[in-house]
Amino acid sequence: MTQQQYQQCIAACLECMNACNVCYISSLKEYNLAMLRDCIRVNRECADICAFAAQAMTRGSDFIGEICELCVKACEACAAVCGKHEHDHCQACAEACRKCAEACRVMAAVA
């Protein structure tokens, strides 16, 4: 694993974390909160897991593979939930989650 590959995965995790946080805050401002309940919940979890994955890679953790596998699962779940909604913030979040899942999938395979 090269330093550039680590940096790309860290960047994808941080981008996803930011997109999840934007989606979370934006969803709280929407009129129909009940419809977005699952989106809001999974946004928080995914953002936290992405932040944790980025920190683990930055530290050179011995558990990068396992943490990135968890990040893939969280990102896929978040993309699935957010992808159901038409809001721009949900669609942007789903796209960032798909990109992060792919980057973490690669990292988990080689870590």
CA–CA dist 22, 111 (Å, integer) = 30
pLDDT > 90 in the chain, percent: 88
Q: What is the pLDDT of residues 3-52, one digit of tens each?
A: 888 999 999 999 999 999 999 999 999 888 889 999 999 999 999 999 99
- What domains are defined for the chain? 3-109 (1.20.1270.360)
Kindly indicate the confidence band of residue 2, based on its pLDDT and cuts at 50, 70 and 90: confident
The helix (run of H) or strand (run of E) holding residue 53 is helix 37-59
Q: What is the mean pLDDT of residues 75-99?
A: 97
Tokens 């909604």 locate to: 85
Q: What is the mean pLDDT of residues 83-99?
A: 97
Q: What is the mean pLDDT of the chain?
A: 95
CA–CA dist 53, 14 (Å, integer) = 9
Tokens 């309940």 locate to: 37
